[in-house]
Amino acid sequence: MAQENAAFSPGSEEPPRRRGRQRYVEKDGRCNVQQGNVRETYRYLTDLFTTLVDLQWRLSLLFFVLAYALTWLFFGAIWWLIAYGRGDLEHLEDTAWTPCVNNLNGFVAAFLFSIETETTIGYGHRVITDQCPEGIVLLLLQAILGSMVNAFMVGCMFVKISQPNKRAATLVFSSHAVVSLRDGRLCLMFRVGDLRSSHIVEASIRAKLIRSRQTLEGEFIPLHQTDLSVGFDTGDDRLFLVSPLVISHEIDAASPFWEASRRALERDDFEIVVILEGMVEATGMTCQARSSYLVDEVLWGHRFTSVLTLEDGFYEVDYASFHETFEVPTPSCSARELAEAAARLDAHLYWSIPSRLDEKVEEEGAGEGAGGEAGDDKEQNGCLPPPETESKV
């Protein structure tokens, strides 16, 4: 019994911290994985739109400028070749000559005419004539291809600007996860919050345990992923994220931490990745925020400080205390050992209470005399009488 009481003492000495492991997911949600030796690079071109959206902003802007500039140069060169091939450049001063494009006297003029055609500016100084069928075909072709370039590039820029990645920056996770008792059971908990007044619709939370393992056949699996239940069966994983919420993973028999005590947990090497998903209320686009916790960021025997207070007519959230925790009495044993101790305690109470009632009834019976009948056994401690023995023949 003394050992069980000692297990609940919060002031136990902590072992020295080990060197931190390499993160799989950074605290800001960036995945710390780089793709190397990708030889089938043509696959990126099969989905060119996504490739352009995923580019960095400086590369996206460079591609945006080049797409228009090269298109104008390409068609400007063709307009110049048509004028050169028809001899328009040799009859600039001939008023009787009908050129393909009026006032096109060189490559610069052809380039400017290409810009005016594709952007439909139409200053009116350079105009195509009806005596140039090849020019009419080129005009139609440039108008169609120019519209396609506009749609493609404007679509890429719009999707890139409206990406909900920046919305995830206002979804915050607690800097530490904690392990403490909740309703008599060990739970692993972390806190999430939304800094904006516009909410995340249909928000849901997931948690993954990342650690290496070895199979019974000797196969080594690096960065093996295991689901941590955060209320999927009960619907608690679907959040109404108006104020900060504490997400709880109950350490039960199905949990990978079922047999992990405080010391075993501190000696372990793992990473817990938490993922918050939902739709942005303003745009309707899906947003995902991620974070992770290493072994050194899991505090055993701590609980989160409350951040919600009731003011005059409203609730106020104090985000200055969002990451704060405080120590609480928590057993240092594993959840399995705690459950076994609770079962032994329940069994002890189950057998000790009837025995004490029996003793009390016997004392009362002895005080009344020895004339009690055997049929009165059914009245003892509210239990049924023992089964009758078969009569001997």
- pLDDT above 60 (res 389): no
Encode pLDDT of 221-278 as tens digits. Answer: 999 999 999 988 888 999 999 999 999 999 999 999 999 999 999 999 999 999 999 9
Encode pLDDT of 47-89 as tens digits. Answer: 888 888 888 889 989 999 999 999 999 999 999 999 999 888 8
Q: Which CATH architecture has domain 167-336?
A: Sandwich (2.60)
pLDDT-based confidence at residue 121 (cuts at 50, 70, 90):
confident
- Rounded CA-CA distance 333/341 in Å is 10
Phi-psi region of 218 (alpha: psi -120 to 50; beta: other; left: phi over 0): left
- pLDDT above 70 (res 390): no
State the average pLDDT over residues 311-323: 91
- Rounded CA-CA distance 161/155 in Å is 10
Q: Which of 117-126, 137-146, 384-393 has the lowest mean pLDDT?
A: 384-393
- Rounded CA-CA distance 363/224 in Å is 64
In the numeric block, which tokens belong to residue 317?
A: 């959230």
Encode pLDDT of 361-373 as tens digits. Answer: 455 555 555 444 4
Q: Which amino acid is at 74?
A: F
- Rounded CA-CA distance 325/174 in Å is 10
In the numeric block, which tokens belong to residue 372?
A: 């009690």
Q: H helices within 221-370, ranges in order?
A: 262-267, 335-368
pLDDT, position 282: 78
In the numeric block, which tokens belong to residue 133?
A: 């069928």
Residues of the chain with CATH 1.10.287.70: 41-162
Match domain 41-162 to its CATH number in 1.10.3720.10, 1.20.120.430, 2.120.10.90, 1.10.287.70: 1.10.287.70
Measured in Å, how far apart are the chain's first and last C-alpha atoms?
51
Residues of the chain with CATH 2.60.40.1400: 167-336
pLDDT, position 240: 92
- Rounded CA-CA distance 301/81 in Å is 80
- Rounded CA-CA distance 104/106 in Å is 6
Mean confidence (pLDDT) of the chain: 83
